[in-house]
């Protein structure tokens, strides 16, 4: 039997080398994300602590509004388990084109490019991964973050004025702020809420956490501010919250209010989005997009008006 | 991960990776000194960890294909990772009991489902119409300050979820200024108080009003950053001029 040896002493004499090249590859992966994003002028994330407040609806309509202003726009649907951007834009069934230069995203309405997990799934299939994911959620978490890393590193967006990332819900030490941290030179976050106390409470936490992570919060969009009855046209309050007070307390601007518009929502549900710039709710998205344009280039405004 | 040949007191060299079974990797090492060889075999969980990092053990000989990891790891209907090792892990972790279904993660966000009727009705029903905006009455917690009646009324009009944050901010300002009573004026002044500890002159405040309201919070932060860089305690018209010059140069 071999005599006992002191491993600590042995290791002290040896020079470590990364034979398996794991660290080297992870470093290269992050460099690739950086390189892929260089052609994009402004990178924005659309987030909310609360689910179901209409982040995706806000994202796609802001993307369309920015495209109407003459910008080249991309939408990255980061909600891996509930990707709905392609469906809303009538792009369900399309796919990314794989080339040696990367994955080219398909074009949607008004020339908006889209990358989404939906493009990897067949109809009605949920996202399921190989491996023993059901044994531990830890493996699933690592896998999902790395899939998001691939979306950032491998999608060949080309030259874009704006890339909007539709983040999944989550408030604090969860995916959204971490995903945002993946994106180099992030121009800022647009936060979506509804005027409900439940939503505002969670959104408030997500804003605080995002700021802790060094993410610049550009402003808040209040979705479902009212409900417009499609039959009689009367507008009613859906909730009784106070988004103004929330924005004042957080010291962030309220970028605009969007009513719950069943007519508009149904067109997106059917994948035949209403694009008429004269439509009242679309006009409101357009106003918000113009504010976002001013905010990402706020130094220009300060130079002119200070 | 490294292995040490204890006889030769040296690191063993990584040699190659093979896939002996579905969900398993065989990683081969050899001692450069005595030539001893061995293979480390991974179970599906360990294989998954390596795969999830999107790396190839030993480095790549070819550049990664776009979405390589996503495409390779997305499950088709075949149950990859099953077999003896998966069964072994299942036995060890779950005592051989079937793992509870985790639901359908891809079934879409609540409230954004397609279908007839109001698409958001399920979400609205789930959230319920809250009493948002109707704040609980009274000052939150024991306060060291006396709140005037009108200031307290203004605080009480705030939604419950905002009130503690506003109360804390106003009281911090009052403490800093040495006030014992919080009036409406103190509340208003606290809004202009900078958390950076800087003071704004009236003229500088007026010039800030020229900026559209939705850009003002960002403008305030940016100007305060410039003032701090210059080491000034009060933001005056001169600081505003310097800030403007700086922004002009960036255009």
Based on the fold, state whether residues B18 and B85 are members of the same structural domain.
yes
Interface mutation vs chain A, best among B59, B89, B112, most A CBs within 10 Å: B112
Q: Show residues of chain B in contact with A123, CB under 8 Å.
A: none
**Cβ–Cβ of B6/A5 closer than 8 Å?**
yes
Band of pLDDT at residue A189, cut at 50, 70 and 90: very high
Band of pLDDT at residue B135, cut at 50, 70 and 90: very low
Instruction: State yes or no: ipTM above 0.85.
Output: no
Based on the fold, state whether residues B187 and B219 are members of the same structural domain.
no
Residue A30 lies in a domain: no
Predicted pLDDT at B110? 37
Higher pLDDT, A75 or B191: A75
Band of pLDDT at residue A226, cut at 50, 70 and 90: confident
Question: Domain ends where: B31, B61, B94?
Answer: B94
Q: Do A253 and B219 meet the contact criterion of CB atoms below 8 Å apart?
A: no
Given a cut of 70, whether residue A177 has pLDDT beyond it is no
Based on the fold, state whether residues B22 and B73 are members of the same structural domain.
yes
Helix, strand, coil shares, percent, chain B, to 5 = 40, 15, 45
| Average pLDDT value over all residues in chain B | 74
CATH code, B211 = 1.10.8.550
Predicted pLDDT at A135? 60
Range of A224's domain?
A: 36-295
Question: Domain ends where: B94, B127, B161?
Answer: B94
Residue B154 lies in a domain: yes
**Cβ–Cβ of A127/B106 closer than 8 Å?**
yes
Flag whether residue A303 sits within 8 Å of chain B, measured between CB atoms.
yes
| Average pLDDT value over all residues in chain A | 87
Residue A302 lies in a domain: no
Contact residues, A window 91-120, toward B, CB-based 8 Å cutoff: 96, 98-99, 102-103, 120
What residues pair up with A116 in beta bridges, in sequence order? A77
Band of pLDDT at residue A85, cut at 50, 70 and 90: very high
Residue B99 lies in a domain: no
Interface mutation vs chain A, best among B1, B111, B243, B244, most A CBs within 10 Å: B111
Based on the fold, state whether residues B175 and B228 are members of the same structural domain.
no
Given a cut of 80, whether residue A155 has pLDDT beyond it is yes
CA distance A39 to chain B (A): 18
Predicted pLDDT at B30? 93
Residue A15 lies in a domain: no
Q: How many domains is chain A partitioned into structurally?
A: 1
**Cβ–Cβ of A253/B215 closer than 8 Å?**
yes
Q: Show residues of chain A in contact with B70, CB under 8 Å.
A: 120, 147, 150-151
Residue B85 lies in a domain: yes
Residue A263 lies in a domain: yes
Residue A13 lies in a domain: no
Residue A122 lies in a domain: yes
- Short-list A226, A218, A189, A232, CA closest to A294: A218
Q: How many domains is chain B partitioned into structurally?
A: 3
Based on the fold, state whether residues B8 and B54 are members of the same structural domain.
yes
CA distance A254 to chain B (A): 7
Based on the fold, state whether residues B73 and B37 are members of the same structural domain.
yes
Based on the fold, state whether residues B172 and B223 are members of the same structural domain.
no
Mean pLDDT calculated for residue range A281-296? 95
Per-residue pLDDT tens over the stretch A5-21: 788 888 888 888 777 78
* Phi and psi angles of residue A60, each rounded to the nearest 5 degrees, phi first: -70, -35
Based on the fold, state whether residues B188 and B212 are members of the same structural domain.
no
Residue A187 lies in a domain: yes
Residue A276 lies in a domain: yes
Distance CA B119, CA B124 (A): 10
Based on the fold, state whether residues B178 and B208 are members of the same structural domain.
no
Residue B122 lies in a domain: no
Mean pLDDT calculated for residue range A27-36? 88
Based on the fold, state whether residues B204 and B173 are members of the same structural domain.
no
pTM of the predicted model as reported, rounded to 2 decimal places:
0.74
CATH code, A147 = 3.40.50.300
Given a cut of 80, whether residue B193 has pLDDT beyond it is no
Distance CA A255, CA A218 (A): 9
Range of B206's domain?
A: 199-250
Length of chain B: 251
Q: Do A48 and A191 meet the contact criterion of CB atoms below 8 Å apart?
A: yes
Query: Looking at chain A, which residue has its C-alpha nearest residue B48?
Result: A131
Question: Domain ends where: B170, B192, B214?
Answer: B192
């Amino acid at each position: 039997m071999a005599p006992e040896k002191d491993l600590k002493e042995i290791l002290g004499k040896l020079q470590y080398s990364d034979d398996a090249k794991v660290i080297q590859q992870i470093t290269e992966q992050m460099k690739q994300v950086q390189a892929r994003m260089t052609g994009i002028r402004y990178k924005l994330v659309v987030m909310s602590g609360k689910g179901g407040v209409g982040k995706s609806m806000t994202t796609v309509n802001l993307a369309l509004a920015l495209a109407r202003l003459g910008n080249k726009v991309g939408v990255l649907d980061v909600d891996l388990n509930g990707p709905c951007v392609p469906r809303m834009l009538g792009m369900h069934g399309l796919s990314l084109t794989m080339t040696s230069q990367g994955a080219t995203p398909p074009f949607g309405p008004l020339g908006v490019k889209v990358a989404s997990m939906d493009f990897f799934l067949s109809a009605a299939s949920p996202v399921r991964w190989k491996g023993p994911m059901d044994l531990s959620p830890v493996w699933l978490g690592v896998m999902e973050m790395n899939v998001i890393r691939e979306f950032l590193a491998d999608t060949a967006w080309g030259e874009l004025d704006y890339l909007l990332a539709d983040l999944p819900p989550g408030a604090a030490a969860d995916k959204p702020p971490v995903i945002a941290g993946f994106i180099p030179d992030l121009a800022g976050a647009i936060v979506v809420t509804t005027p409900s106390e439940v939503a505002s409470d969670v959104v408030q936490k997500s804003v605080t956490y995002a700021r802790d992570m060094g993410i610049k919060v550009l402003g808040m969009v209040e979705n479902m501010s009212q409900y417009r009855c499609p039959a009689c046209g009367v507008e009613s309050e859906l909730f009784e919250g106070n988004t103004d007070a929330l924005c004042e307390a957080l010291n962030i601007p309220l970028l605009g209010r969007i009513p719950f518009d069943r007519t508009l929502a149904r067109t997106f549900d059917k994948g035949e989005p209403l694009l008429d710039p004269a439509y009242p709710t679309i006009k409101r998205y357009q106003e918000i997009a113009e504010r976002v344009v001013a905010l990402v280039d706020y130094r220009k405004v300060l130079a002119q008006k200070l | 991960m490294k292995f040490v040949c204890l006889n030769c007191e040296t690191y063993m060299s990584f040699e190659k990776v093979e896939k002996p079974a579905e969900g398993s990797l065989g990683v081969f090492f050899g001692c450069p000194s005595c030539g001893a060889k061995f293979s480390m075999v991974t179970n599906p969980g360990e294989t998954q960890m390596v795969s999830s990092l999107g790396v190839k053990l030993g480095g790549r000989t070819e550049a990664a294909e776009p979405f390589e990891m996503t495409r390779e790891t997305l499950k088709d209907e075949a149950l990859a990772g099953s077999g003896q090792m998966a069964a072994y892990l299942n036995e060890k972790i779950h005592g051989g009991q079937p793992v509870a279904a985790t639901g359908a993660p891809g079934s879409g966000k609540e409230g954004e489902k397609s279908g007839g009727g109001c698409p958001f009705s399920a979400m609205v029903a789930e959230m319920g119409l809250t009493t948002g905006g109707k704040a609980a009455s009274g000052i939150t917690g024991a306060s060291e300050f006396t709140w005037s009646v009108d200031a307290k009324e203004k605080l009480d009009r705030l939604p419950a979820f905002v009130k503690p944050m506003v109360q804390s901010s106003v009281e911090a300002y009052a403490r800093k200024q040495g006030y014992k009573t919080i009036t409406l004026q103190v509340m208003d002044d606290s809004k202009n108080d900078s958390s950076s500890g800087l003071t704004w002159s009236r003229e500088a405040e007026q010039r800030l009003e020229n900026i559209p309201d939705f850009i003002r919070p960002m403008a305030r932060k940016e100007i305060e950053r410039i003032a701090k860089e210059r080491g000034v305690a009060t933001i005056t018209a001169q600081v505003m001029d310097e800030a403007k010059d700086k922004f002009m140069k960036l255009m």
